[in-house]
Every structure is written in C-alpha cells, then in structure tokens.
C-alpha cells in the first residue's frame, strides 16, 4: 500500500466518522464539529490527489474550502448561540419548526 | 354642390346637437333650432332643384363629385364619391322635398317638447345619412348611409327613452336591421372580391357586359336582398317596423314611410344590372314582395291603433314595390315609391294631427265623427286614403295599376298568381284604409268627455303641410316616373299573349278600389253592430290577425330564447365555468394536494435530512458503480 | 435632437417618472398626479412628433438605435419604429396621460406607488412594441407582468388575489414556453448559419424545417393566444378586468391585449411561415369561435365590466381573422381593429369607472335611465357603444369591415380552389356583426334607458371637465380613424405587405387585388 492509498483511506475514515456524527448525535455543536470533520476528510483527499498528480489545483481548492469553512462557522456559531438562548437547549430535535 | 346637399343637414345636426341649447337660452334657442333644423333641409332641397336643372341641361349625363379617398389599400382606393343621375335625382328630390315638409310639420308637432333641439338634431342627422345613401356612387357610401339611417331611426324611435318599451322598440329595429345588414355586407364582399370595385355603375356595367363576371348574379342578388328585407321591412325581417311606431309621428312619416324604408327598393333598382341577370333572385324578390304585401294587409285589417294600421299598410305597400322590382319593372317600383312617399306621409302626418287633437289617444275604437271637428285633417286624410286605395285619378292609381299590369304581363316573371294575390291585396288595402277613415272621422263619436272637450284643429304649420302633401298625392301620378327613368331603367317587355290585357287590368284596379270602399262603407258606415257581429263570427281569425300571426312570439321562441339559453347554460355554465375554469381550478387543487403530500417529508428534524442526504449519496454511488 | 434619440427618450421617460415618484411626497398626491400627467403628456407629444415624421414610403426600420449588449450571443439593444408598431406605439402613448387623468380621484391609496406602476407598465409596453431584438422583446414582455400583478393585487376589488394569481399563472405559463422556443430558435439559427443573433430581421430568415416550425409555432402561439385572449384560453380576462382598478382595465384592454395580436403579427406567423400556413384554418376557426362565443357570453353577463371584457374577446377575434387571412386588406383591417378596440374598450372601461366612482356598483340590475340622470355621460357612452359595434364613420367599422373583407377574399380564393371551409367560417364571422349589436344595445338599453334608477342617485353629478376631456380625446380619435383612415393606414401598409410576403410567400403576392389591372 503506497502513501496515496493510505492517505485516502484516512480521508475516508474521517469523512465517515463525521457523517456518523452528524446523523447520530443530537447536540447542535457536536453536529457542527462533525461536519468540520467531514470537510477535513475531503480536504485530505484533495491534498493527497494534488500530491499524486503533482498539480497545484488541488491545493488551491483546499485553501478555498478553508475560507468557506471559516465563514460558515462564523455564521453558524452565532446562529446556534441564538437558538440556544431562545430555547435553552441544544437538542436538534427541538428545532423542528420548519416541518412541512 | 352634391357635397353641399349632403353636408347641409349634417351641419344642422352639429349645430343643433352641440350648440343650440348651450349658446342660446329659450326662447331664442328654440327659434335658432327651428331656423337651422328646417332651414338647412329646405336649402338642400333648393340645391337639389339646381342640381336637377344642371343634370337636365347636361343631357342627363350623371354628375359626380369626389369628396376624398376614405382608404386606399394596395393601390385600390375606396373613394367617397357622389353620383347624381336620373334615379338619384328622383330620390333626392323626394328625400329633401318630403323631408323638408315633415321638418316644417314637426315645428308644430314637437312644440314645447323638452328635447326639441335633440329632436331636430336627430332628424337632420337622419337626412344626412339618407342623402349619403342615395347620393353615394359606391356601395360603401350607400352602406354608410344604410347603417346611418338605421342609427337615426334607432335614436328617433327611442326618442322618448324614459319609456322602456319605446327604447326596446328602437333596439329591436336596429338589431333586425343589422341581420339584414350582415347579408348586405356579404353581398358587398362577394362583389368586391369578384370585381375589385364597389362603384355601383361599374358593377352594373360589369354585369351588363358579355361575358359577365365569374360570379353568380343570383347569389349576389339574394345577399343584397337580405339587406333590403331588413331595411324595407319585408318577410322575414318586417317585425321591427310596426314597433317602430313608438317614435314621434312625424318620424314615422319621414323615416318609416316615405324615405328610409324605401331604401331597399332604391337599392334593388340601383343594382338592376345584377337583378336583370339574376332570374332566381328576381323571382324571390317578387314573391317575397307579394307575400309580404298580402300578409301585412291581412294584419292591417284587424289593428285598432291608427299608427299600427298605417305601419302594416306601409309594409304592404313596400311589398308592392318589391313585386314590381321583382318582375323587372324597376321604374315602376320607383314610381310607387314616389307616390307612396306623398300619400303615406300625408296619412301619417294626418294621423299625427288626429293624435294631436285627441290629446295623445291612438285607438280608433275611441274615435269617430272627427270630420267636422278637424276638417282640414279629414279632407287631406281622405284624399290620401283614396290615393292609396288606387282610385283614379289620384297618384296611387297610376302606380298601382302599373304594378298589377307588369306583375301579370312582364316578360321577366309576370304570372297569374302574382297578379291574383296582388289584386286581392289591393282590395284589402282599400278596405282597411276606408275602415280606418270611417272609424276615425265618420260614424258615431266614441270619444270620452274629456277628450271630446279638447279636440282642436292643428296649427297652420301642420295643416299647411297636410294640404301640400294631399295636393301632391292627388296630382303626383301625372308625372310618369317610369317614363322619366326609362333611358336608365328600361321597362321589361310584355308577354305577347297578354299584351291585350291592359284595359281589363285598369278596370280591375279601379273596381278593387271601389269594392274596398263599398265594403268598408257597408261594414262600418252603418250601425256598429254589423261589424261587431261579423267580428264575432270569425273571432278565431280575428285573434290571429290582431296577434299579428304571433310572429314576434315565434321568433322569440325559436331564436331569442335558445340563444340566451345556450349562452347562459352551455357557454357560461358548462364552457367557461365547468370546463375551462373547472380544469384550471382542478389543476391548481392537484398541485396544492401534491405539495401537501410532499411537504410531509419536511419533518423539520435535521437528522432525518442528513439521513436523506446519505441515502442520496449512496444511491448516487451505486448508480456510478454500475455505469462506470 | 435626432429622431432616434427622441424614440429613446420616449421609451425611457417613464423610468424618469418612476424615479420622480420615488422621490415625491406622498402627502401631496395632487403634485404626484400633476407631474405624472405632465410627463405622460410630454411622452405623447414626442410620440406624436415621431408619428408625423414617420415616412410611409420607407419599408425599413426608422429612428433605429442599435447598441451591442451581449455580443457573444448576438443580443443587442435594438429598437425602432416600423409599420407593425407605429400605430400601437402611438396608441400606447396616447392612453398614457388619459390613464393618469382617469385615476385622479379613483386612486387615493399609495398614490406614488400607483403612478410608479403606471410608468413601469408604460415602459414595458412601449419597450415590447419598439424592441426589434427577441431577447429585448422577451425582457419587456415579462416586465409587463409585474406592474399589472401589483396593480390588480393592491388597488383591485374584492377577489383581487384570485384574479391576479390567475392572470399571472396564465401568462407566465405561456411565457415559459415562448422562452424555451426562443432559445431553440436562436440556437438553430446559429447551427445553420453560424450567426448568433436575436434580431427579428435575422430570425425571419432562419429557414427552419417544417417539423421544428410546428413545435415552435405552437409554443409562441400559445403564449400570444393567452394574451389576446383566444377562446378557450380567455377565462383570466373577465376576472382580471372585474377586479382591476379602472386604470388597470384601461391598460389591459387598451394596450396589453394587443400584445397578443401584435405578437402573432410580428413573430408568431412570420417566424414560422410554413407552420402558420398549415394552421391558418385552425386560427381562423378559433377567431370565429372567439367572436361568437365572446359575444354570446357578453349577452348574459350581469356585471358591467364583464360585458365589456367579453366583448373584447369578441372584437379581437376579428383581428385574428384578418391576420390569418394573409390578405393585404385583411391585415390592414386587423391592425385597425387592434387600435380601434384599444380606443373603444379603453373608453368604455373609463366610463364604467366613472359610474362606479359615483354609484359604487357594477351590477347592471342596479341601473336604469342613466340618460336622464347623466345626459353628457350618456352621449359619450352611446358614441363609444356605437363605435364598439362597428357603426360606419367610427373606427370600429373601418377595422371590422376591412378585416372581414380580407378574410372573405382569402376564403373565396380557397373556395374557388375547392376548399369551402374558410368560406363558411367567414359567413359565421359576419353574424358577429349582429351579435355585437345585440349585446351592446341590450346593455345600453338596460343601462341608459327606461325609468331612472341608480344607487346614490341623489348625489350623482354629471361628468366633470376632466372626465369630458378624457372621453372627448378618445371620441375624437375614434372618428379620426373612422373617417380618415387613409393616412394612418398608409404608414402600416408596407409592413402589411412584408408580413404578407413572409407568411404567404409566392401565393399571397400573386393574389394582390385584381383591381390594379382593372382600373
């Protein structure tokens, strides 16, 4: 097993872990953290491919994702805070107001 | 000059309609209206005399004047052009002459009416359109006048519009006329498509040329005649004319007796180039004419409203004119049109004078013995009655005799049956007219005390006109119109086998008139019981006749109601509401229900959404696995 | 100032109006009304100037402006006057000041927004007419929806929400199909000729295969047919009219409906001539159905506005007949009928608005004998009614007569060639003349005549000078087109010929009037 394969398996593991976290955990903050985990899994795979292909596009994309993720968290955390303030809970199931 | 003849009444309409009452307060306003309303038509009449003199001086070469080009498409112009030949001259003289007289008469008749200015404005408007109708060179101008006189007639019938029945009568007249106009329009379309022109002299020339145009003259003739049945109140479109009596009586005299209703006859005579070559159409014209004459006369016998009797008599006399036109004697048709204009105008105006004297009463059962009280009206009415009955040497005798003669002996469809029905009708005409005379003016007085106290002779402006018209009805027949028109509208040949029958026809014609007179005298001259007893003997027939054969009711049942019913129940309820909107609302409801069902997937739980996303991801992966 | 610039000013002046209303003071509504009216008047004056300058002998685009916009797709800001749109632009600009004047007392809520909407719709309508680029046309076409939606939705009657949604869904549905067809059309032009262009002039020569034409024609035709509207796509119209404020009804009947017939004339038929020829009989049939069906329905309505709404359906049926006839006289008649209907229907809707302002009822049964109560009103009402039923000397006659004559000529040729279907259709169409008189006069009879009866009759006053001015302007236009149609029709004639060539090809040109030879 070469280096790329190993990195890709690691990326897959991170992504799966994050996915499981999002699905299983009920705490909004933990769900957000799990989502970051998924993002990082994808980032890792991009880096691995960039290294394998010897091109810079993958690395550039990683930086883009960093920026987007930072912005996303910057918005998401205040929202979660406001939600927590209004309902005194962080349980995701408590926020089912958008039910169709 | 022709333009001026037509436009003078229009100026009268505009002046009276827009300015008169605004600029001048009464009584100066009334004087202004009278001056403009009567002065301009009289001026038009004088100009017509001048134009006629010019026509004669020029050896009867038609005068023409182009006003402007209405529209020109693809190089084909529709010109507004006036045309003045022998036939036009006769018509314009009748229209402006009789028209002016009736305008003058109206001054007395409409005195004190709150809408005096409006009345004269409408009357002038009518005259304008009527002059367009007879002066136009092209069928298009004729049609503008044709519809325009319909409008004026609509406005004048419904002149006292506060009475819904009168307004309804106006509407009925307009709509029935429109039915005819639709046919007329089709006729114009066929002619324009085939010939590329609507100029009537050109159309006639095209049909007279050989080879003629590639369209059926009969088809065109029938289509145009549909228009004539509407305007000239022939079967099956005559139903509007009796109702049209709701208008002021001078209007009935001018529009619904002397001029407008004869437009159809004029048109047929004007388009004789077509009808000469349309044997089938001519037969139709003759038979429709004679049957209308007959049926209208039977109805007239049983009517008790003085104006209704005259209205049906008008329908009947128009039938005589069409009979003449149908057998190819166009000049004779115009001759009867001309004499009829005099005596029928005189009768209507006389009736107006009677109604005036009776304070508005129109039922002849409540009249009688008026002769002494209103002598001028009586004598003029009597002369006109004798004229319409065809007693020599009055005007009606000459024209009616010629009609009977050509109906019998013309090469273009003269037949025994035509003359037989026409003769019977002539007999009935004399009978019902003398009945009217007797019941109104002679016999015992059946007036109620109130009306009797108010009976008075009309003012000079009215009786003077009556006298003038009575004189014309008496001597008008000596000017032989067919002879005047013959270079333009040649009379049909006489069947060789019948050429000797003219004297018997003359004798028959006189005899019929006298028989009608004696019959009416026998029935109504003596005791009232005789008429009453006879009426009871034939009560069933009388009811049918009084009910005018229930044709109005029949049309309502067969056309009016089904049209409304279909519109309401099929088109509106089923078509619009159930089918179209139903489908649409159904679709909208379906969309809403689908949305509601799909909406249940939106539980609001983040975990469920994440699970859905995972399922989607897995699905996509599986698909990719199989296809890559 | 060059004339092309003036056309641009005419088009963009309403935008200036919107800016003005945004800055104006809501507490001084009369100032808003006054300035809006003045602006509209300027616009009309400029349009009239352009109309007078329009050269009837020049078949090309006049006062044209061409600016590249999205060059890669061949989209350009291309506007100009031609025979197709010159009268309609004039009509639109003519109605503008009247609409503002007519809403003077009727609109008291959100006066600024209302005038902004009037300006916006004026902008969109003018844009649709003067656009000579399909992309631009489509933009303006869609833009028309927005102000109309708001106008009915905000200032409308009780069921305004239902009406406005119905209106928007109907029209949007048609527009989507047109958008798809438009994209396909331009794409296929590019693949066959290598030129990417949205200009009408280029698209006329696209030379599509008949099969493709049928589909594209269907999509365009559906969109236009909804706007006309042609039966059975008409049910949005009565609802929209009934709920719309007077200004909305006037704009709707006066100009918006003409978008449909104009679309058919400028795009639907000439872009897809083979398909259009195939569909001639169907279009004629639908036109005749519209005439008769609309008239019958007008006969049984009890709401005054609905009577006029259904009469619109009937009247535009004549325009469709004239267009489908592809006969020079018929086409000219169709154009005249569009303009004439714009005048008479707008006038009648104004009049309904005026009586509604006084008596607050649209129910015909509430009225009677208005002629005694409001004599001046009644005179105008009668004149417009008679124009609507096509009495000679009014514009209605010019339109109906020419449209029917043209239809009949085409039908007669088909008949001579052995196909009598069209002749029967033309015959049935002529009965519309009778039905038209029937419902309009019945309406007038129940409304104007008889014993006087009206809600609030004791407070009712006859027309004000402002109202007389509006109606007098319309009546003057009606008689102008009825008595002297030659001058305006000459300006449209070359476009009619072009249309005839594009749609009819060799057949139509050979069938020019036989008159020229005869004379």
Q: What is the pLDDT of residue B492?
A: 87
When pLDDT is averaged across residues C352-370 and rounded to a whole number, the result is: 90
- Half-sphere exposure in the Cβ direction for B345 (13 Å, CA): 37
Q: Examine residue A23 and state whether it is found in any structural domain, yes or no.
A: yes
Q: What is the pLDDT of residue B570?
A: 83
DSSP state at residue B600:
T
A99 at B interface, C-beta within 8 A: yes
**Chain B residues closer than 8 Å to C514 by CB:** 196
Contact criterion met (CB < 8 Å) for B614 and A23:
yes
For testing contact with chain A, the best of B594, B600, B604 (most A CBs within 10 A): B604
Residue C92 CA: distances (Å) to CA of B552, C41, C121, C124, C379: 46, 12, 10, 11, 25
B439, B371 contact by CB (below 8 A): no
CA atoms of B345 and B339, how far apart (whole Å): 10
Q: Sign of dihedral through CA atoms C362, C365, C371, C373? A: negative
Ordered by start, the domain boundaries in chain B are 278-546, 555-585
B186 at C interface, C-beta within 8 A: yes
User: Touch between chain B and chain A (3+ CB pairs, < 8 Å)?
Assistant: yes
C11, C134 contact by CB (below 8 A): no
CA atoms of B512 and B489, how far apart (whole Å): 29
A92 at B interface, C-beta within 8 A: yes
**In the block, residue with structure tokens 């209605």:** C396
Task: Indicate whether B21 pLDDT > 80.
Answer: no
Q: What is the pLDDT of residue B526?
A: 67
Lowest mean pLDDT among B176-180, B355-359, B507-511, B529-533: B529-533
DSSP state at residue C27:
T
CA atoms of C16 and C13, how far apart (whole Å): 5
CA atoms of B354 and B436, how far apart (whole Å): 12
* Other residues' Cβ atoms within 10 Å of the Cβ of residue B73: 26
When pLDDT is averaged across residues B462-466 and rounded to a whole number, the result is: 91
**In the block, residue with structure tokens 């302002």:** C357
Task: Indicate whether C516 pLDDT > 60.
Answer: no
pLDDT digits (tens, 9 = 90+) for C15-30: 999 999 999 888 899 9
Q: Examine residue A97 and state whether it is found in any structural domain, yes or no.
A: no
The stretches in chain A having pLDDT less than 50 are none
CA atoms of B528 and B439, how far apart (whole Å): 10
Contact criterion met (CB < 8 Å) for C329 and B572:
no
A93 at B interface, C-beta within 8 A: yes
Task: Indicate whether C513 pLDDT > 50.
Answer: no
When pLDDT is averaged across residues B159-172 and rounded to a whole number, the result is: 87
pLDDT digits (tens, 9 = 90+) for B385-407: 999 998 888 998 999 989 999 99
User: Chain C neighbours among B 44-103 (CB < 8 Å)?
Assistant: 68-76
- Reading the block at residue B253, the tokens are 């005299």
CA distance B583 to chain A (A): 27
C439, B568 contact by CB (below 8 A): no
Of the candidates A22, A23, A100, the beta carbon closest to that of B602 is on: A100
B158 at C interface, C-beta within 8 A: yes
CA atoms of C139 and B592, how far apart (whole Å): 30
DSSP state at residue C181:
H
- Could you tell me the pLDDT band of residue C509, with boundaries at 50, 70 and 90? very low
pLDDT digits (tens, 9 = 90+) for B484-520: 888 888 888 888 888 888 888 888 888 888 998 888 8
pLDDT digits (tens, 9 = 90+) for C129-182: 999 999 999 999 999 999 999 999 999 888 888 899 889 988 888 899 999 999
CATH assignment at residue A31: 1.10.287.3510
Contact criterion met (CB < 8 Å) for B576 and C235:
yes
pLDDT digits (tens, 9 = 90+) for C395-444: 999 999 999 999 999 999 888 888 888 899 999 999 999 999 999 999 99
pLDDT digits (tens, 9 = 90+) for C60-90: 899 999 999 988 888 999 999 999 999 999 9
CA atoms of B266 and B289, how far apart (whole Å): 14
DSSP state at residue B606:
H
**In the block, residue with structure tokens 């002879």:** B483
- Could you tell me the pLDDT band of residue B527, with boundaries at 50, 70 and 90? low
Q: What is the pLDDT of residue B619?
A: 94
Contact criterion met (CB < 8 Å) for B178 and C437:
yes
B266 contact partners, CB below 8 Å, separation of at least 6: B87, B91, B133, B134, B334, B337
Contact criterion met (CB < 8 Å) for B603 and A97:
no
Q: Look at residue C80 and give its three-state secondary structure.
A: strand
Specify the DSSP element, H or E, that contains C230.
Answer: none
Q: Examine residue A14 and state whether it is found in any structural domain, yes or no.
A: yes
CA distance C63 to chain B (A): 25
Q: Examine residue A57 and state whether it is found in any structural domain, yes or no.
A: yes
- Domain tally, chain A: 1
Q: What is the pLDDT of residue C112?
A: 92
Q: What is the pLDDT of residue C482?
A: 93
When pLDDT is averaged across residues B57-78 and rounded to a whole number, the result is: 89
Percent of chain B with pLDDT over 70: 98
Range of the domain at A52: 3-89
- Could you tell me the pLDDT band of residue C511, with boundaries at 50, 70 and 90? very low
CA-nearest residue to A28 within chain B is: B606
Q: What is the pLDDT of residue C1?
A: 61
B15, B39 contact by CB (below 8 A): no
* Other residues' Cβ atoms within 10 Å of the Cβ of residue B57: 9
Q: What is the pLDDT of residue B220?
A: 92
Q: What is the pLDDT of residue C514?
A: 41
CA atoms of C469 and C380, how far apart (whole Å): 11
Q: What is the pLDDT of residue B297?
A: 93
DSSP state at residue B314:
H
Question: What angle do helix axes B460-475 and B330-357 make, rounded to 10 degrees?
Answer: 150
| Mean pLDDT, all residues of chain C | 90
Q: What is the pLDDT of residue B534?
A: 75
CA atoms of C61 and B326, how far apart (whole Å): 56
Task: Indicate whether B184 pLDDT > 50.
Answer: yes
Percent of chain C with pLDDT over 90: 64
B27 at A interface, C-beta within 8 A: no
Q: What are the φ/ψ torsions at residue C157 (nearest 5 degrees)?
A: -85, -155
Of the candidates B68, B71, B193, the beta carbon closest to that of C489 is on: B71
CA distance C297 to chain B (A): 6
| Mean pLDDT, all residues of chain B | 88
Which pairs from B600-603 meet CB under 8 Å and 24+ separation? Answer: B600/A100, B601/A100, B602/A98, B602/A99, B602/A100, B603/A96, B603/A99, B603/A100
- Could you tell me the pLDDT band of residue C487, with boundaries at 50, 70 and 90? very high
Residues forming beta bridges with residue B83, ordered by sequence position: B64
- Could you tell me the pLDDT band of residue B50, with boundaries at 50, 70 and 90? very high
Helix ranges restricted to H, A3-90? 3-24, 28-53, 57-87
CA atoms of C152 and C159, how far apart (whole Å): 10
**Chain C residues closer than 8 Å to B72 by CB:** 486, 489-490
Task: Indicate whether C379 pLDDT > 60.
Answer: yes
Q: What is the pLDDT of residue B341?
A: 93
Q: What is the largest CA-CA distance in chain C?
A: 72
Of the candidates C299, C329, C449, the beta carbon closest to that of B158 is on: C449
Q: What is the pLDDT of residue B529?
A: 65
Q: Examine residue A43 and state whether it is found in any structural domain, yes or no.
A: yes
CA atoms of B48 and B54, how far apart (whole Å): 10
CA distance A78 to chain B (A): 18
ipTM (interface pTM)? 0.91
- Could you tell me the pLDDT band of residue C518, with boundaries at 50, 70 and 90? very low
Query: What is the DSSP track for A18-39?
Result: HHHHHHH--BHHHHHHHHHHHH
- Half-sphere exposure in the Cβ direction for C348 (13 Å, CA): 31
Q: What is the pLDDT of residue B538?
A: 77
Of the candidates B601, B607, B611, the beta carbon closest to that of A92 is on: B607
SS3 content of chain B, % helix, strand, coil (to 5): 80, 5, 20
Question: Which one is predicted more confidently, B266 or B570?
Answer: B266
Contact criterion met (CB < 8 Å) for A100 and B611:
no
Q: Which of C319, C304, C231, C234 is nearest to C268 (CA)?
A: C319
**What's the N-to-C CA distance of chain B in angstroms?**
96
Task: Indicate whether C120 pLDDT > 70.
Answer: yes
């Amino acid at each position: 097993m070469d280096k790329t394969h190993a990195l890709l398996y690691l990326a897959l593991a991170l992504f799966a872990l994050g996915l499981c976290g999002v699905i299983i955990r009920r705490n909004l903050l933990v769900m957000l953290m799990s989502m970051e985990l998924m993002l990082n899994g994808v980032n890792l795979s991009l880096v691995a491919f960039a290294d394998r292909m010897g091109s810079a596009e993958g690395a550039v994309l990683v930086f883009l994702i960093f920026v987007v993720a930072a912005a996303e968290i910057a918005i998401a955390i205040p929202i979660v805070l406001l939600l927590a303030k209004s309902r005194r809970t962080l349980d995701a199931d408590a926020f089912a107001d958008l039910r169709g | 000059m022709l333009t001026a003849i037509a436009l003078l009444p229009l100026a009268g309409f505009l002046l009276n309609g827009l300015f008169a009452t605004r600029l001048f307060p009464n009584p100066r306003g009334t004087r202004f209206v009278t001056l403009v309303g009567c002065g301009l038509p009289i001026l038009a009449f004088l100009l017509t005399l001048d134009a006629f003199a010019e026509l004669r001086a020029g050896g009867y070469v038609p005068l023409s004047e182009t006003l402007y080009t209405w529209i020109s498409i693809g190089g084909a112009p529709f010109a507004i052009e006036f045309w003045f030949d022998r036939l036009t001259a006769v018509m314009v003289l009748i229209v402006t002459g009789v028209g002016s007289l009736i305008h003058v008469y109206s001054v007395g008749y409409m005195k004190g009416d709150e809408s005096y200015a409006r009345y004269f404005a409408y009357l002038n408007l009518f005259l304008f359109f009527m002059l367009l109708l007879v002066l136009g060179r092209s069928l298009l101008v004729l049609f503008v006048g044709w519809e325009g006189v319909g409008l004026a007639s609509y406005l004048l019938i419904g002149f006292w519009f506060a009475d819904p029945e009168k307004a309804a009568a106006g509407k009925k007249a307009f709509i029935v006329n429109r039915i005819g106009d639709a046919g007329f329009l089709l006729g114009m379309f066929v002619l324009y498509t085939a010939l590329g022109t609507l100029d009537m002299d050109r159309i006639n020339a095209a049909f007279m040329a050989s080879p003629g145009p590639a369209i059926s003259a009969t088809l065109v003739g029938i289509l145009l005649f549909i228009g004539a049945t509407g305007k000239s109140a022939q079967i099956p479109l005559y139903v509007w004319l009796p109702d049209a009596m709701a208008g002021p009586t001078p209007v009935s005299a001018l529009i619904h007796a002397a001029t407008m209703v004869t437009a159809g006859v004029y048109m047929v005579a004007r388009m004789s180039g077509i009808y000469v070559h349309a044997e089938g159409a001519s037969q139709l014209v003759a038979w429709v004419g004679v049957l209308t004459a007959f049926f209208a006369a039977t109805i007239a016998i049983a009517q008790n409203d003085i104006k209704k009797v005259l209205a049906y008599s008008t329908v009947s006399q128009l039938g005589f004119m069409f009979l003449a036109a149908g057998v190819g004697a166009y000049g004779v048709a115009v001759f009867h049109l001309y004499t009829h204009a005099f005596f029928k105008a005189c009768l209507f105006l006389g009736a107006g004078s009677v109604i005036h004297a009776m304070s508005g009463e129109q039922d002849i059962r409540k009249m009688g013995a008026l002769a002494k009280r209103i002598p001028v009206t009586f004598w003029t009415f009597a002369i006109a009655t004798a004229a319409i009955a065809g007693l020599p040497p009055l005007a009606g005798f000459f024209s009616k005799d010629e009609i009977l003669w050509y109906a019998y002996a013309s090469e273009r469809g003269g037949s025994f049956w035509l003359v037989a029905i026409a003769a019977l009708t002539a007999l009935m005409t004399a009978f019902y007219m003398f009945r009217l005379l007797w019941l109104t003016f002679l016999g015992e007085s059946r007036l109620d005390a109130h009306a009797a106290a108010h009976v008075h002779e009309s003012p000079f402006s009215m009786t003077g006109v009556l006298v003038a018209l009575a004189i014309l009805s008496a001597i008008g027949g000596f000017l032989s119109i067919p002879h005047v028109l013959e270079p333009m509208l040649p009379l049909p040949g006489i069947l060789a086998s019948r050429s000797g029958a003219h004297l018997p026809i003359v004798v028959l014609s006189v005899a019929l008139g006298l028989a009608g007179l004696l019959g009416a005298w026998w029935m109504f001259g003596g005791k009232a019981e005789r008429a009453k007893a006879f009426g009871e003997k034939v009560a069933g027939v009388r009811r049918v006749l009084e009910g005018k054969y229930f044709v109005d009711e029949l049309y309502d049942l067969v056309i009016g109601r089904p049209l409304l019913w279909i519109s309401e129940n099929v088109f509106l309820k089923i078509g619009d509401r159930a089918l179209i909107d139903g489908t649409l609302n159904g679709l909208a409801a379906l969309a809403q229900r689908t949305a509601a069902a799909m909406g249940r997937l939106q539980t609001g739980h983040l975990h469920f959404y994440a699970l859905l996303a995972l399922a989607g991801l897995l699905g996509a992966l599986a698909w990719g696995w199989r296809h890559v | 100032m060059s004339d092309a610039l003036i056309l641009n000013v005419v088009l963009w002046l309403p935008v200036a109006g919107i800016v003005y209303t945004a800055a104006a003071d809501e507490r001084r509504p009369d100032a808003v009304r006054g300035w809006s009216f003045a602006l509209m008047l300027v616009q009309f004056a400029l349009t009239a100037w352009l109309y007078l300058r329009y050269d009837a002998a020049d078949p090309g685009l006049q006062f044209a402006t061409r600016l590249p916009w999205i060059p890669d797709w061949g989209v350009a800001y291309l506007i100009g006057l031609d025979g197709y749109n010159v009268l309609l632009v004039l009509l639109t600009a003519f109605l503008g000041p009247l609409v503002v004047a007519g809403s003077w007392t009727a609109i008291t809520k959100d006066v600024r927004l209302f005038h902004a909407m009037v300006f916006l719709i004026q902008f969109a309508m003018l844009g649709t007419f003067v656009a000579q680029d399909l992309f631009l046309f489509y933009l303006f076409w869609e833009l028309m929806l927005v102000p109309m939606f708001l106008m009915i939705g905000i200032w409308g009657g009780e069921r305004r929400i239902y009406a406005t949604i119905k209106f928007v869904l109907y029209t949007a549905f048609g527009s989507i199909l047109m958008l798809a067809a438009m994209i396909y059309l331009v794409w296929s032009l590019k693949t066959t000729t290598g030129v990417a262009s949205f200009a009408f002039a280029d698209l006329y020569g696209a030379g599509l295969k008949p099969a493709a034409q049928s589909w594209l024609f269907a999509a365009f035709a559906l969109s236009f047919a909804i706007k006309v509207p042609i039966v059975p796509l008409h049910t949005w119209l009565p609802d929209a009219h009934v709920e719309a404020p007077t200004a909305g009804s006037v704009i709707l009947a006066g100009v918006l409906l003409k978008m449909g017939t104009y679309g058919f004339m400028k795009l639907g038929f000439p872009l897809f001539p083979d398909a259009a020829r195939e569909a001639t009989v169907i279009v004629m049939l639908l036109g005749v159905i519209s005439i008769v069906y609309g008239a019958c329905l007008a006969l049984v309505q009890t709401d005054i506005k609905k009577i006029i709404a259904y009469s619109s359906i009937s009247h535009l049926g004549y325009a469709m007949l004239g267009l489908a006839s592809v006969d020079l006289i018929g086409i000219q008649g169709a154009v005249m009928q569009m303009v004439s209907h714009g005048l008479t229907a707008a006038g009648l809707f104004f009049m309904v608005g005026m009586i509604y302002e006084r008596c607050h009822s649209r129910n015909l049964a509430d009225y009677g004998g208005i002629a005694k109560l409001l004599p001046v009103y009644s005179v105008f009402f009668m004149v417009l009614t008679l124009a609507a039923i096509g009495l000679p000397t009014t514009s209605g006659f010019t339109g109906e007569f020419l449209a029917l004559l043209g239809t009949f000529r085409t039908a007669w040729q088909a008949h001579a060639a052995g196909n009598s279907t069209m002749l029967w259709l033309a015959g049935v169409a002529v009965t519309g003349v009778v039905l038209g008189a029937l419902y309009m006069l019945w309406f007038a009879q129940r409304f104007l005549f008889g014993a006087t009866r009206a809600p609030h009759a004791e407070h009712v006053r006859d027309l004000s000078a402002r109202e007389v001015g509006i109606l007098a302007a319309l009546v003057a236009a009606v008689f102008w087109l009825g008595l002297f149609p030659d001058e305006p029709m000459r300006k449209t004639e070359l476009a009619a010929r072009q249309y005839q060539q594009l749609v009819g090809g060799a057949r139509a040109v050979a069938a020019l009037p036989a008159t020229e030879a005869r004379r």
